[in-house]
């Protein structure tokens, strides 16, 4: 059984905290609290570690990301970081965007559907753990814009970040590449990458930061 992380309780109660609707009735997480509780219960019956990353519940195995749970306006999302490598024998996985290469999600809009798929989800989790333990990596299409080696290393650690990065427009990708590449030292480059993760995952461009400050 997975130990309960109280930070996930706060996420379900008040949201991810990444927008102005945090802890309000307009928060999309609050709309799906019952569904999120049921999805979480499935995860608590696994041996994965329950964490909060980028404001959302993430379930890890030996430090590697396996599953991420979130909420959109119209559904709850249950995502496998390396879902493209799963066999998906029940044909329940889908891409969350045309340019997504690694992650695959299941969309839920009712508790009944979650209960219906609970045993299948557990099968997929076992397969996902086996894939992670095998060391198999997703083969990504390269972008024409040169990417700093430090960012490539972070992509290996966090495949969903790679998906989010390549889902950006070429102009937005270039903005991040220029910003991250400026320092000569790797430590400074990694520091800049960490500062950009949330924005990339949110589909924002680097220069959106400056527009929001005006």
Kindly state the percentage of the chain with pLDDT values over 70. Answer: 94
In this predicted structure, what is the pLDDT of residue 20? 84
Q: Encode pLDDT of 90-118 as tens digits.
A: 999 998 776 688 999 999 999 999 999 99
- DSSP string of 84-124, one letter each residue: GGS--TT---B-SSTT--S-EEEEE--HHHHHHHHHHHHHH
Residues in the chain: 214
Q: Encode pLDDT of 151-205 as tens digits.
A: 999 988 888 888 888 888 888 888 899 999 999 899 999 999 999 998 998 888 8
Is 142 a residue whose pLDDT tops 70? no
Q: What is the pTM assigned to this prediction?
A: 0.75
Residues of CATH 3.30.1460 domain(s) within the chain?
Answer: 6-134
Is 61 a residue whose pLDDT tops 80? yes
Tell me the CATH number of domain 6-134, given options 3.30.110, 1.20.1250, 3.30.1460, 3.30.750. 3.30.1460
């Amino acid at each position: 059984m997975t130990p309960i992380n109280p930070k996930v309780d706060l996420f379900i109660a008040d949201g991810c905290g990444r927008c102005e609707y945090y802890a309000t009735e307009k928060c999309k997480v609050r709309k799906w609290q019952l569904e999120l509780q049921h999805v979480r219960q499935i995860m608590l019956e696994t041996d994965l570690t329950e964490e909060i990353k980028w404001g959302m519940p993430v379930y890890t195995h030996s430090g590697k990301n396996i599953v991420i749970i979130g909420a959109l306006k119209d559904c709850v999302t249950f995502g496998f970081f390396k879902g493209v490598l799963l066999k998906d024998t029940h044909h329940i996985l889908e891409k969350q965007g045309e340019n997504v290469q690694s992650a695959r999600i299941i969309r839920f809009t009712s508790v009944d559907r979650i209960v219906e798929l609970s045993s299948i989800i557990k099968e997929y989790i076992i397969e996902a753990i086996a894939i992670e333990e095998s060391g198999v990596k997703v083969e990504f299409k390269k972008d024409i814009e040169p990417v700093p080696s430090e960012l490539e290393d972070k992509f290996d650690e966090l495949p969903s970040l790679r998906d989010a990065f390549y889902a950006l427009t070429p102009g937005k990708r270039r903005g991040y590449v220029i910003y991250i590449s400026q320092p000569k030292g790797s430590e400074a480059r990694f520091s800049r990458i960490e500062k950009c993760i949330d924005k990339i995952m949110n589909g924002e461009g680097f220069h959106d930061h400056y527009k929001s400050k005006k």
